[in-house]
Amino acid sequence: MDVIPYFLSGLILGSIYGLTTLGLSLIFGVLRVVNVAHGSFVMLGAYAAYFAFILWAWPPFATALLAFAIGALLGYLVYIGVIKPLNKAGELNVLVALFALGALIAEIARLLWGPDFVGYRWNIGSVEVAGLQIDISKLAGAVLALAIALSLDLLLRRTYFGRSIRAVVQDPVGAMVVGINVDRVFAASAAIGIAITTVGGVFLTLFIPVGINPYMGGPYTLIGFVIAVLGGLGSLLGAYTAGLLLGVIESLGFYAFSVAGFAEPSEMALFLEFALLLLVLLFKPTGLFKL
């Protein structure tokens, strides 16, 4: 067995991890709020991909646009309805409310769509890379995820709107006195952040052909935290890069643990990720990619 295919498929999965975490990282950077409902929005994106595919035969990349719109609307509502009114009462209140919201969304999903695992398969062929058959759909998903991450970074650097977001991240009071409508930046960041999270959920379905379920979000919230911490919370390209890294670690870990004969190699790979999180928190709490 060769390591390279595992490395490659780790990179491809990691690109999707990176994408789903961008939203978490953006929301934390701007609003200083940890979106503990993250996984539930990933789940909504996954269901959107599933229903659009089986009902209207939409390819997931078309659904991504719809998911972005739904996510943006939900993100805006979350800001107006939860984060803004509770922010003055303290961080813990927002955290608890978002946790409750995440659980509520999962329960509503269960009421509407049932508790069973569902899934779909979008097969558009495969290509051979370094001796490994890779689904074109997965490869395209990874490339698109990279493109989205880079465009978001460019948006933040090159546009007035993006600069206003960066200004709020660096000093909200300074942003206010130069004439930035900080409240609007907060609302827009929540909307874009959750929109991207939802799109991440759509892309994720390419990798989990039978893994869509109302409660699927939990692990992704955890993985999201690991990635965001690795990348340095609030650093977008850091989050994406950390996503790649985590995908590779997960994939290589799975390989190593299976070769070593462990009964549950994927569980062990997950253990490896959290061990890494612990180490980073202990020795480099600002993240691997932030000075």
Site residues for another protein per CB under 8 A: 160, 163-164, 166-167, 170-171, 173-182
> In angstroms, rounded to a whole number, what is the distance separating the alpha carbons of residues 23 and 226?
14
Closer CB to another protein, residue 110 or residue 166?
166
Q: CB of 288: closest distance to another protein in angstroms?
A: 18
Closer CB to another protein, residue 178 or residue 263?
178
Closer CB to another protein, residue 125 or residue 179?
179
Buried b vs exposed e over 86-95: b needs ≥16 C-beta within 10 Å?
A: bbeeeeeebe
Q: Is 77 exposed, middle or buried (0-12, 13-18, 19+ CB in 10 A)?
A: middle
Closer CB to another protein, residue 172 or residue 265?
172
Q: CB of 169: closest distance to another protein in angstroms?
A: 8
Non-local (6+) Cβ contacts of 123 within 8 A are 135, 137
Q: Is there a contact between 39 and 12 (Cβ–Cβ < 8 Å)?
A: no
Give the alpha-carbon dihedral of 36, 225, 16, 113, to 10 degrees: -30
Q: CB of 156: closest distance to another protein in angstroms?
A: 12
Q: CB of 179: closest distance to another protein in angstroms?
A: 3
Closer CB to another protein, residue 107 or residue 183?
183
Q: Is there a contact between 215 and 116 (Cβ–Cβ < 8 Å)?
A: no
Q: CB of 18: closest distance to another protein in angstroms?
A: 22
